[in-house]
Structure 1
Amino acid sequence: MSGDAETDPQTAIDAVTNDQDERVYEHSAGDEREGIPFVGAGPGDPRLLTVAGRELLADADLVVHAGSLVNSELLAEYCVDAETVSSIGKDLEELIPLMRDAYERGETVVRLHSGDPAIYGAALEQMDALEHEGVPTYIVPGVTSAFAASATLRTQLTLNEVANHVAFTRPQGKTLDEDEDHISEFVGMGDVTTCIYLGTHAVSETMDRLLDDGHDPETPVAAVYHASWPDEDVVEGTIETIGEKLEAAGYRASAMVVIGDAVGGEEYERSFLYGEWANRSSDESADSTGEADD
């Protein structure tokens, strides 16, 4: 791809305006539509791919996927008739013309991201660049690794009187400055389940910062390595111990780290959903402006 104004991906990003795309009002997330779908592959297990994603892969001529972040079993099972190309090591200047040219040749193209494209997926810059080239795009949601980790841990990320909020975050490092790291703030709120992406390599340093900030060293922490993959492993500990345990296990990547009292699924209160709230009169229900607590 050349670097002129017509094809430079940064030009496409800079050209984005605040005007709402009319397709927002014409389609919902599950609709079939024209263009290149950006499909969430889910956390790993091929069975956790959505039905929509499976159907799109079955019809694809070209699948550009996220390399080893997508389970090879999923590719083998659902992409039998498609050419598969890993996006690892390729920049936008290579990926955009690859997908654009295939689409313009009449091929059915699928861009396959790990987890859900909306969570640390860098999908939008690819979509904007393709749209700038005249190629329509859309997102097909997937199951993010935090949800797979929650299922493995047999708990909820939100629990009545334990965790009212969930934070999806990442630690400081090469792509996130120190003042942009809010993990300590989330943990300090007390009723937040903090899910750390892209931070397996920095768990010890992250926990040391939490201890330095005065957080309870006994706060539960679980690290789920390769959630839903065949080699999934669970390392449980606390803010004080999880770093050492994870290092002993030898994991430096691909673990979802979950911090908070919801990790153990203990000491929560019965919700209103299946109690007196559910038995209110129809008049009371009609007056309600919100939904039942979960």
Structure 2
Amino acid sequence: MSADGEADTGFTDEEGIPFVGAGPGDPDLLTVAGRKLVEDADLVVHAGSLVNSELLDEFCADAERVNSVGKDLEELIPLMADAYESGRTVVRLHSGDPAIYGAALEQMDALAEAGVPSYLVPGVTSAFAASATLRTQLTLNEVSNHVVFTRPRGRTLSAEEDHISDFVGFGDTTVCIYLGTHAVSETMDRLLDEGHDPDTPVAVVYHASWPDEDVIEGTIETIGERVEDAGYRASALVIIGEAVNGSAYERSFLYGDWARGGDAPNDEPDTETQEPDNE
């Protein structure tokens, strides 16, 4: 138990520097554990404008704040390690969830080499905020059984490592493209050239959960031009698949006859004969 009588979360009482997921933008989507950690911090190293300044002002007002943009490992690691070893409470604040297209592990490994422990604190990734904005699910019974987090080819990813077309071709998969706002038109043109249905739904959610959030909806055939007209080149999440519309799904097995007005189930489903669908 903590000093105020609340149960420890498991994330707020570990030793070392926490790498905290700040969430997609809205300060309210910072986790309870994340909020406790940044509020107690003496030094918060944050991911620049990718972390909402309102969050920093609200929860990190008493901390020294350092923007990590433009700083390499050789500068960041001594900064955090020296502060930690001098007895200061340090938090590394990443946008979204640090496990998704972050560079947390290389920093954590470098800290470990310097003798400084660290650990991860999950956050809300932008795909989930975008799904909430669209009022849909990324998985829908008989529509989408799988979710893919991917990125388009570019400086980091070669053409051979870009599998967006393969993922879209599965049909029952919702494809969430990170770091690809600048390449929406190019990606959609490639999907058309490779024979994908031009009417496949696509949504582009700019700054999901931020005050200036914007949603552009279309299809593989139309979305590229619409995004170009809007002028967005970064900070948007692209979602491809029938789940975008949140329609044509089948009722899950989870509620069964109960959802149709029948009797509530008395027993748990027999998992050896029927696996419940947790849609």
Which bracket does the TM-score occupy, shorter chain normalised? over 0.9
What secondary structure does 2:211 align onto?
A: coil
Contact 2:143–2:248 (Cα < 8 Å) also in 1 = yes
- How far the C-alpha of 1:293 sits from its partner, in A, is 3.9
Please, which runs of 5 or more residues in structure 1 have no aligned partner? 1-27
- How far the C-alpha of 1:93 sits from its partner, in A, is 0.5
Contact 2:12–2:36 (Cα < 8 Å) also in 1 = no
- How far the C-alpha of 1:132 sits from its partner, in A, is 1.1
Matched, 1:207 2:192: no
- Residue of 41, 57, 64 corresponding to 2:38: 57
- How far the C-alpha of 1:161 sits from its partner, in A, is 0.2
Q: 1:145 is matched with which residue?
A: 126
What secondary structure does 2:253 align onto?
A: coil
1-structure distance, mates of 2:86, 2:74:
19
Matched, 1:246 2:227: yes
- How far the C-alpha of 1:32 sits from its partner, in A, is 2.2
- The 1:136/1:191 distance shift into structure 2, 3 A limit, reads same
Deviation track 1:226-274 (CA, whole Å, cap 9, x = no partner) reads 0000000000000000000000000000000000000000100000111
**4+ residue segments displaced more than 2 Å:** 28-32, 276-293
1-structure distance, mates of 2:12, 2:42:
20
Percent identity between matched residues is: 76
Contact 2:11–2:121 (Cα < 8 Å) also in 1 = yes
Structure 1 counterpart of 2:135, one-letter code: R
Matches within 5 A, 1:245-264: 245-264=226-245
- How far the C-alpha of 1:284 sits from its partner, in A, is 5.1
- How far the C-alpha of 1:290 sits from its partner, in A, is 4.3
Structure 2 counterpart of 1:226, one-letter code: H
Matched, 1:67 2:54: no
Matches within 5 A, 1:116-135: 116-135=97-116
2-structure distance, mates of 1:288, 1:77:
51
2-structure distance, mates of 1:231, 1:219:
27
Q: 1:46 is matched with which residue?
A: 27
Deviation track 1:29-84 (CA, whole Å, cap 9, x = no partner) reads 64620100000000000000000000000100000000000000000000011000
1-structure distance, mates of 2:256, 2:10:
33
- Residue of 107, 127, 138 corresponding to 2:88: 107
What secondary structure does 1:285 align onto?
A: coil
Deviates more, 1:269-278 or 1:236-245: 269-278
1-structure distance, mates of 2:58, 2:112:
30
- The 1:277/1:215 distance shift into structure 2, 3 A limit, reads farther
Please, which runs of 5 or more residues in structure 2 have no aligned partner? 1-8
The TM-score normalised by the length of structure 2 is 0.92
